Amino acid sequence: MATPGATLPRAADGTREIPHTVSPGLWTLAWRRLRADRVGMVSLVIVFAFVVMMILSGLGLVAKDWSREAGVNYAPPSFVGADVEAGTPAAPAAPESAVPAGEYKSSIVDPLADVIAELKGAKPAAAPAPSAPSEGKSVDPLADVMADIRASKGSGAAAPAPAEARAATLPFGGDKWGRDVIAKTIKGSETSIFVGIASALVATALGTLFGAVAGYYGRWVDDAFNWFYSVFNAIPYLLLVLAVAAVLQQKGMLTIILILGLTGWTGVFRLIRAEYLKHKSREYVQAADAIGASNARRMFVHIFPNVSHVVLVQLSILVVGFIKAEVILSFLGFGVPVDVVSWGSMLNEAQNELILGKWWQLVAATVAMATLVTAFSLFTDALRDALDPKLKGLKGH
Amino acid sequence: MRPESSKPAGEPLIQVRDLRVKFRLGGEATFEAVKGVSFDIPEDSTVALVGESGSGKSVTALAILGLLPPENSIVDPASRILFGGRNLVGLPARAMRDLRGADISMIFQEPMTSLNPVFTVGYQLTEVLRLHRGLSAAAARRRAVELLDEVGIPEPKRRIDAYPSQMSGGQQQRVMIAMAIACEPKLLIADEPTTALDVTIQKQILELIADLKRRHRMSVLFITHDLAVVGEIADHVVVMRQGEVREQGTAKAIFESPGDAYTKALLMCRPALDRRPMRLPVIDDFMGGRGPQHIEERARGLAASDSVILDVKDLGKSFQVREGLFGRREFKAVADVSFALRRGRTLGLVGESGSGKTTVGLTLMRLHQATTGQALFDGKDILSMSERAFMPYKRRIQIIFQNPYASLNPRFTVGQILTEPLAIHGIGANAQERTDHVFELLGKVGLPDVSFYKYPHEFSGGQRQRIAIARCLTLKPDILICDESVSALDVSVQAQVLNLLQDLQDEFGLSYLFISHDLAVVKYISDEVMVMNEGRVVEIADADTIYRNPREPYTQRLLSAIPKGWHAAA
C-alpha cells in the first residue's frame, strides 16, 4: 500500500521529474476502512486460515494420511474416553472380521445389523471381487452397502485391511473405518472450499459478462438475456441441478463446480445489468464515447471499475452460498463421488452414525462449516461497508 | 415588489447570535461550517442570505429550524437563536417540532424530491393542516383548495387530487409553498427555491413569494447564490463566505456601496446584460486588492468574412416512447433545426428545460442518432457517415458536459483521463510524448503538474471542469460543444471558467456551440444567439441584436424574465 506523503520520482526516462504524492485510490481507501473494522479483520483472518489449510492439504503437507485407519472403528474422541463396551480397543481380535463384533452390540436399534450378519455369514465364501472399484484404497464409505449387495449375490466383500495397533481413541474421534475425523475434516475442506470458490468465480464471471452485455447494449440484446434469465429462473433450482448433472453424465469436483457455476449466475446478472443500465448513460461514459472509446473499452475499462465493488461483494456472497450448496448436494448424494471426502459427504455418513450414537463426525464437519460460513458472511458485510461507506452512514453510529 | 417597511423598529422576529456549527468528520476530526454568525430577521421583511457553496448559508437555515442531522452535527451550546424570547438552541425535539410548520416553515430547492410521489398533493397538504391545526378532514380539504388557489394552481378543486408527477416543476414548487404557508407561519425559510426552475417560472415564483409575504405579513429568509434575484426581492442582505458573515446591511447599501471586497467581487463576477468586458473579473482580483483587470468592452457579433465550419440543416430527433404493453408513440425532441456555426465564433443556444437544446448538442456529437437532417462539416455530412468514417471527425468535435462531478471517471487518475484520448486516436509517438503533451495542457488550463497523479474527487468543481476542458483539448478539436458547462459552478468559479474558454478561443480559434439556460452568460460569451422552444428554433440573430430587439414574443417573454438585480428595481 502506498503511503500518502511519500514522494516518488517519476520513471528514470522522464524528461521532467515532478515530486508528487501518491493519492490513495479506491482500493487503498477501502482497505484502510476494512483494517479499521475489527469484526471484519477477525473474520478475514479466520477465512484466510481456512484457505491456507485448504492449500496445505491440497499440497499434501497437512492431513496427507487422512485415509490411514489410525484408530479403531468409530474411535471415540479422547475427551470422551474409550468405548468400554466395544471391548479392548487394542483387540484386533478377529483378523478375519473387519468389524469388531462387540461394536454393534452396544447399539440396540442397529438398522445395519442384518447387513452385518449377512456379511459375516457370507464371509467364508469371500474372495476379493475383481470388480472392486476401490482403486487400491479401501476408503469407500459405501462399502457396507456394496458389500450387502455382493453378499446377497454370495460373492462376498472386500473388507478393510486388518487393523494393526490402532488407537482406542482419537483426538476428536474416528469414523466408521477408524480414520481421524480431524484429518478428514481438513481433507474435506479441500473439496468444500475449492468447490465454493471455484463455482462462485464461474457464476460471477458469467453473471457479470451477461449483465454487462445486456445492460450496456440494452434493446433486443437485453430482451434476449432477460428471456433466457426468466426461463432459467422459472425452473426449480434442484431440478436444474439434476438436469445439468444428467447432461454432464459424471460425478466429480469439476461437475459440481460446473453445476453450481452454471446455475448460480442469475442473481449476479440482475445486479450487474442494473448497474450497467445506470452507468451507461452517465456523463463519464458519454465523455468516453466522445473521445472515441470503443464499446468494449467503455464496458470494461470505463464502467467495470465503477461496478467492480458490486461484483466483489456478490462473489463473496456466492462463495458462502456455494460452500453450503456443495454440502447440501453432497449430503443428498448429488455431489462429489463417494470416494472423495467433503463436508457434505461427511454429513451424509453421519446420518447413519447418529443412530449409533456416534456424533463426532457430524459435529466436526458442522463446526468447520459453520465457522467458515459465519466468518465469510461477516467478512462480506465488512467488505461491503468498506467499499461503500455511504451505506454504513445510513445505519447511524 | 419591495414595500417600504413602515413598521416601527421593534423587536426583531429572530435574532441569531454567534451561531457556531461543527460537523464530525469521523474520529476526532471536525469541520466548522458556521463560525460565529450573527444577524437579525426583522418582522415583515425579507432577509437574503447570499453565498457560494460551502459558505454555510444552508447550514445556518437548518440550524434555525433545528433540522441539522443530530448524529454528526454539533451546534455550539453558547450560540443563541432567539425567537419570541425563546432560545431555539437546545430546545427539546418535541417543542421544536411544534414550532416547525406552525411558526417557521421551509421550502427547498428541489420540489421534485421534497414531495412524496406516492401521495396526492391534496393528501400531503391536508396532512399538514390536520396535524398542526387539528382541522377535520372536510375542513382541511376546503382549506387546501383555498391554499392551492392562493398559490396560483389553476382549477384547484380538480388538481388537489393530482399526484406530484402530474404537475410541472413550477406547480410542484407552488404546492410546496402552499404547504409551507398552510399554518400561517411568521417566518418562511426559502432555500434556493428557484434555482432548479426555468427563468420564466422563477419570475412567477419570486412574485408569488413577495405577494404572500405582503398579504400574510410574514418574514422571509431567502437563501440563494444569485445576487440578481436578491436585488429583486430582499430588504436586508447578509453576505456569507466560508462560514463567516462578510458584510450585512440593507439591500440599498449592499448593492450601491458594498464595503467588503468579497461582496464587490460577487457583484462584478457575474456577467451582466449591459457590460461585456474582455475578461470577467474574478474573486482573486478583488481579494488581492487589485480590482478588476481588462474591463474594456469586447466586441461581439459576426463579420461577413466569417467562414462556416458546421452547417446544420433540418436536424430532427424523435424518441420512441413506450406506451402500455405494446404501444409506441413518437416524441419529437428536436425538429427542423437549421443553423450555421462560424469558424472561431460562438453560437449561444438558449431555451428552457425541455426545449431540446441539449439534444441538439448530443446529436451533433452522434451520442444520439439523428432521425432526420444533415450536419455538413467541411462539406461532408457527419450524421450519415459510418462509424469508422466518423472517427477522424469525432476528434474534431468535442463536448464539455454540465456536471464536472459526473463527467470524469472516478476510478481514473487525471493523467489516465487525459492520456486516454491521445492513445485512442494515436496522437503522439509514444507514452512519453503523450505524457509531456498532457503536462503542457494542464498548464494551459491552469492546473498544477501534480494534478496528473490525482483522482478527480480531490478537486473542486471548477478545477474538475478545467480537467474536462483539458480532455477535450487533447484532441485539438475545431468545434467545442459546451452543454451547460458553467451552470453547476459557483459564480466566482463560473467567471474563471468563462475566461478560460475565452482565452482558448482567442488562442486556438475554436468554434463554440454554447448551450445554456442562463441568458446572462450566453449574452456574455456569444457572437450569435439561437433561441429554442419545444424542439424548434424560435429566433436566431446576432447576440446584441437579439437582446436589444427581440422579434418573437417568446424571446421577449424569456428576456423580460431575467432577474435584473438592484438596478431595475431602484
Please write the tens of the pLDDT for every residue from A51-68: 888 888 878 776 677 677
Report whether pLDDT(A162) > 70. no
- Residue A147 confidence (pLDDT): 52
* Cα gap B469→B232, rounded to integer Å: 34
Strand partners, B47: B221, B236
Q: Which three cell numbers stand for residue A8?
A: 516518488
- Residue A209 confidence (pLDDT): 92
Which of A191-195, B222-226, B281-285 is predicted with the least confidence, judged by mean pLDDT? B281-285
Instruction: Indicate the pLDDT class of residue B376, thresholds 50, 70 and 90.
Output: confident
Site from B418, B419, B440, B453 to mutate, A interface, most A CB atoms within 10 angstroms: B453
Q: Are B399 and B513 in contact (CB under 8 A)?
A: no
Of A282, A283, A305, the CB nearest to B411: A305
Instruction: Give percent above pLDDT 70 in chain B.
Output: 94
Q: Which three cell numbers stand for residue A243?
A: 438436469
* Cα gap A268→A275, rounded to integer Å: 11
* Cα gap B337→B373, rounded to integer Å: 8
* Cα gap A199→A315, rounded to integer Å: 10
Query: Quick one: average pLDDT of B396-422?
Result: 86
* Comparison of pLDDT for A123 and B299, the residue scoring more: B299
Contacts of A223 (CB under 8 A, 6+ apart): none
CA distance A20 to chain B (A): 6
Report whether pLDDT(B511) > 80. yes
* Cα gap A133→A141, rounded to integer Å: 12
Report whether pLDDT(B128) > 90. no
Q: Are A308 and A357 in contact (CB under 8 A)?
A: no
pLDDT digits (tens, 9 = 90+) for B429-453: 788 888 888 888 888 888 888 888 8
Report whether pLDDT(A8) > 70. no
Q: Are A276 and A285 in contact (CB under 8 A)?
A: no
Q: In 3D, which of B61, B181, B65 has the Cα closest to residue B128? A: B181
Average pLDDT value for chain B: 83
Give the number of residues written for chain A: 397
Q: What's CA B533's distance to the chain center, in Å?
A: 20
Instruction: Give percent above pLDDT 90 in chain B.
Output: 2
Q: In 3D, which of B559, B564, B560, B561 has the Cα closest to residue B541? A: B559
Average pLDDT value for chain A: 71
Number of neighbouring beta carbons within 10 Å of residue A371: 14
Q: Report CB contact under 8 Å: A20, B453.
A: yes
Of B402, B403, B410, the CB nearest to A306: B410
Give the amino acid at B288.
G
Query: Quick one: average pLDDT of B26-44?
Result: 83
Of B401, B413, B474, the CB nearest to A283: B401
Give the amino acid at B43.
E
> Is the CB of residue A287 less than 8 Å away from at least one CB of chain B?
yes
* Cα gap B310→B385, rounded to integer Å: 15
- Residue A63 confidence (pLDDT): 66
Query: Quick one: average pLDDT of A227-251?
Result: 79
Report whether pLDDT(A159) > 70. no
Q: Report CB contact under 8 Å: A289, B411.
A: no
- The count of C-alpha atoms lying within 13 angstroms of the C-alpha of A129, restricted to the half-sphere facing its C-beta, is 21
Decide: helix, strand or coil at residue A78. coil
**Chain A residues whose beta carbon lies within 8 Å of the beta carbon of residue B435:** 14
- Residue B83 confidence (pLDDT): 86
CA distance A26 to chain B (A): 7
Contacts of B177 (CB under 8 A, 6+ apart): B107, B151, B193, B205, B208, B209, B212
Backbone angles phi, psi at A26, to 5 degrees: -60, -45
End-to-end alpha carbon distance in chain B: 11
Number of neighbouring beta carbons within 10 Å of residue B154: 9
- Residue A12 confidence (pLDDT): 42
Q: Report CB contact under 8 Å: B410, A21.
A: no
The CA angle B323-B327-B333, to the nearest 5 degrees, is 60
Which of A7-11, A22-26, B434-438 is predicted with the least confidence, judged by mean pLDDT? A7-11
Query: Quick one: average pLDDT of B107-131?
Result: 83
Residue pairs spanning A and B at CB distance below 8 A: 84
Instruction: Give percent above pLDDT 70 in chain A.
Output: 61
* Comparison of pLDDT for A31 and A161, the residue scoring more: A31
Give how far Cα B203 sits from Cα of A13, A73, A77, A174, B562, Å. 60, 91, 85, 86, 8
Q: Are B526 and B347 in contact (CB under 8 A)?
A: yes
Q: In 3D, which of A146, A272, A153, A144 has the Cα closest to residue A216? A: A272
Q: In chain A, at which residue ranges do the beta strands (DSSP E only) sit?
A: none
Decide: helix, strand or coil at residue B503. helix
- Residue A205 confidence (pLDDT): 93
CA distance B394 to chain A (A): 7
Q: Are B69 and A393 in contact (CB under 8 A)?
A: no
* Cα gap A284→A271, rounded to integer Å: 21
Strand order in the sheet with B372-377: B327-342, B308-323, B372-377, B380-381
Instruction: Indicate the pLDDT class of residue A201, thresholds 50, 70 and 90.
Output: very high
Query: Quick one: average pLDDT of B72-91?
Result: 84
Decide: helix, strand or coil at residue B526. coil
Contacts of B548 (CB under 8 A, 6+ apart): none
Query: Quick one: average pLDDT of B247-265?
Result: 85
pTM of the model: 0.73
Give how far Cα B26 sits from Cα of B29, B30, B72, B467, B504, Å. 6, 8, 9, 30, 42
pLDDT digits (tens, 9 = 90+) for B258-283: 888 888 888 888 787 777 777 787 77
Q: Which three cell numbers stand for residue B396?
A: 474534431
* Cα gap B358→B377, rounded to integer Å: 20
- Residue A273 confidence (pLDDT): 92
* Cα gap B153→B159, rounded to integer Å: 8
Q: Are B248 and B57 in contact (CB under 8 A)?
A: no
Q: Which three cell numbers stand for residue B164?
A: 406530484
**A:298-337 residues touching chain B, CB 8 A cutoff:** 302, 305-306
Give how far Cα B283 sits from Cα of A327, A393, B245, B495, Å. 68, 36, 17, 9
Q: Report CB contact under 8 Å: A284, B408.
A: yes
Q: Are B124 and B178 in contact (CB under 8 A)?
A: no
* Comparison of pLDDT for B440 and A177, the residue scoring more: B440
Query: Quick one: average pLDDT of B303-321?
Result: 83
Report whether pLDDT(B181) > 80. yes
Which of A109-118, B110-119, B162-171 is predicted with the least confidence, judged by mean pLDDT? A109-118
Instruction: Output DSSP code: residue B368.
Output: S
Site from B403, B409, B469 to mutate, A interface, most A CB atoms within 10 angstroms: B409
Q: Report CB contact under 8 Å: B399, A293.
A: no
Number of neighbouring beta carbons within 10 Å of residue A15: 10
- Residue A390 confidence (pLDDT): 59
Query: Quick one: average pLDDT of B414-424?
Result: 87
Give how far Cα B443 sits from Cα of B64, B283, B436, B450, B451, Å. 45, 20, 11, 11, 10
- Residue A99 confidence (pLDDT): 43
- Residue B446 confidence (pLDDT): 80
Q: Report CB contact under 8 Å: A286, B367.
A: yes
Contacts of A15 (CB under 8 A, 6+ apart): B432, B436
Backbone angles phi, psi at B240, to 5 degrees: -115, 150
Provide the b/e sequence for A326-345 (b: ≥16 CB within 10 Å): bbebbbeebbbbbbbbbbbb
Q: In 3D, which of B155, B164, B65 has the Cα closest to residue B112? A: B164
> Is the CB of residue B454 less than 8 Å away from at least one CB of chain A?
yes
Query: How many DSSP H helices and E strands does chain A contain?
Result: 16, 0
Long-range contacts (CB closer than 8 Å, 24 or more residues apart) made by B82-85: B82/B14, B82/B15, B82/B16, B82/B17, B83/B13, B83/B14, B83/B187, B84/B13
> Is the CB of residue B453 less than 8 Å away from at least one CB of chain A?
yes
The CA angle A42-A190-A336, to the nearest 5 degrees, is 130
Report whether pLDDT(A3) > 50. no
Enumerate the H helices of B270-365 as residue ranges: 283-287, 357-364
